[in-house]
Chain A
């Protein structure tokens, strides 16, 4: 193995760049948006059906919302395990990422993916790869808003 000259290195880098350009799939933004719109919209309709059915059973808004989250998460975890959700994600992009099913998918995917690394340091740690940041910043931002609300309340802005 001889040392590569500067010229060879550069040529190689250029060839590689060309290769990357060739194999990178080109997507048009409007098409991606349409797919995201369609799939994301359908998942929301599914949620609306659950809310509707739960309402018919006499549940209040909060309980119905909880059932809606639970069932969508259940469905998403199941589809993730069967390797179907990743395919939906590949097609729909943000349409599969933005709904709560996307959150459940990323939690389930990391739990399944890292089971080989053990119960505690595999699943136990990695299950929070996505859930951790979402819970942390969700809790923190609502806490921060809560602090503002609490102070304004003490000052008598809200009665």
Chain B
């Protein structure tokens, strides 16, 4: 059941964004920024938690999940460290995603050659 929920919620998020892509011709970078910010806001107002409880990876794998991770880290850091936590939480929580993307991509740049566009 959890797989089914992950499938349809994750799929639905992608399908909705497809409408945005087709109607506005927005570039991928803008879409991603929009998703991350939306995720952070949804998370902060408490709408994300019920969604992730229901859909699991269907909510956390789309980039809105990245925004959720950012906000959760931010809140934890503020609760633990007060004001300075505002400058600790974000990077701590997104460490895995950003590090993995940068490190693995850099290694990939040693191994793979640019491909011709088809």
If A44-B11, A93-B18, A98-B14 touch, does A115 touch B109 (CB 8 Å cutoff)?
yes
Q: How far is the CA of A34 from the CA of B66 in the complex (A)?
A: 24
Identify which of B29, B87, B89 gathers the most chain A CB atoms within 10 Å of its CB: B29
**Which residues from chain A contact B69 at a C-beta distance below 8 Å?**
65
Alpha-carbon separation in the docked complex, A158 to B34 (Å): 28
Question: Does B35 interact with chain A (Cβ within 8 Å)?
Answer: yes
Verify B7–A45 contact, CB threshold 8 A. Answer: yes
Contact partner of A103 (CB less than 8 A), chosen from B2, B32, B111, is B32
* B-side interface size class: 35 or more
Q: How many A-B residue pairs have CB under 8 A?
A: 267
> Interface digits, A122-159 against B, CB 8 Å rule (1 contact, 0 not)?
01000101110111011101110111111001000000
Q: How far is the CB of B49 from chain A (nearest CB, A)?
A: 12
Tell me the dominant secondary structure on chain A's binding face: helix
CA distance A104 to B28 in the complex (A): 12
**Minimum CB–CB distance for A93 against chain B, Å:** 5
Judge if B47 is at the interface, Cβ distance under 8 Å.
Answer: no
Asked if A94 and B31 make an inter-chain contact with CB atoms under 8 angstroms apart, the answer reads yes
Contact of B100 among A74, A94, A115, A139 (CB under 8 A): A74
Are A33 and B60 in touch, CB under 8 angstroms? no
7 contacts between A and B (CB under 8 A): A42-B11, A47-B57, A73-B104, A94-B20, A95-B18, A98-B35, A138-B66
Residues of chain B at the chain A interface (Cβ within 8 Å): 2-3, 6-15, 17-22, 28-29, 31-33, 35-37, 40-41, 44, 55-58, 60-63, 65-67, 69-71, 73-75, 78, 82-83, 85-87, 89-91, 94, 96-98, 100-102, 104-106, 108-109, 111-115
Q: Which A positions have Cβ atoms within 8 angstroms of B?
A: 27, 29, 32-52, 65-66, 68-70, 72-74, 77-78, 80-83, 86, 92-95, 97-104, 106-108, 110-113, 115-116, 123, 127, 129-131, 133-135, 137-139, 141-143, 145-150, 153
